[in-house]
Amino acid sequence: MMWLVANRPWSTMVGWLPDVARYQLTLIGEHESLSMPLHTQAAAPKIRLFLVDDEPMVRKGFRLFASLQSDMTVCGEAASEGAALREIAALKPDLVVVDLGLKGGTGLEVIKELHRVHPQIRILVFSMHDEAFYVEQALGAGAHGYVTKEEGTETALQAIRSLMQGKRYLSAKAAAKMTGMG
């Protein structure tokens, strides 16, 4: 393995170091040195999310929670059906988080179109609607998972990871509604 060695005092190097770099501090005589591999192991690619919700605060909150995850990033967002479909076609995210109620259309139409045109994109519904009717409609349109907003972002983040493993996901509340237990 080839190593890049910088013979500068440690205090001048701290701001220069990449966050993900592996490093080793060694003392050589009176001078500190930093040894770092020239080619570090690449980090696993992040899950690229696209958010579709007509409420700016919901998008902002979801973006914040996703940014705190080491394995996720939000690549785009939209408040309406038309904007969502245009942006998703351009950005090609791994997963779309979609609300059912949107400006200028419905989340169901977004789901149907994504399922038809971009079948490789995973789709998670994140909605205030917890009735079995909505869950059935979303899954029938092509969604891979369903989480109610009442259950929160942590449940949605768990669902995203599950969907990216090729699984389907129904939150506890959505599953209870589907089975008539909720």
How do residues 42-74 score in pLDDT, each as one tens digit? Answer: 678 999 999 999 999 999 999 999 999 999 999
Range 47-178 has CATH code 1.10.1510.10: no
- Taking the domains of the chain in order of start, what are their residue ranges? 3-37, 47-178
- In Å, the largest CA–CA distance within the chain is 73
How do residues 109-142 score in pLDDT, each as one tens digit? Answer: 999 999 999 999 999 999 999 899 999 999 999 9
Torsion angle of alpha carbons 101, 90, 114, 45, nearest 10°?
A: -100
* pTM for the full predicted model: 0.76
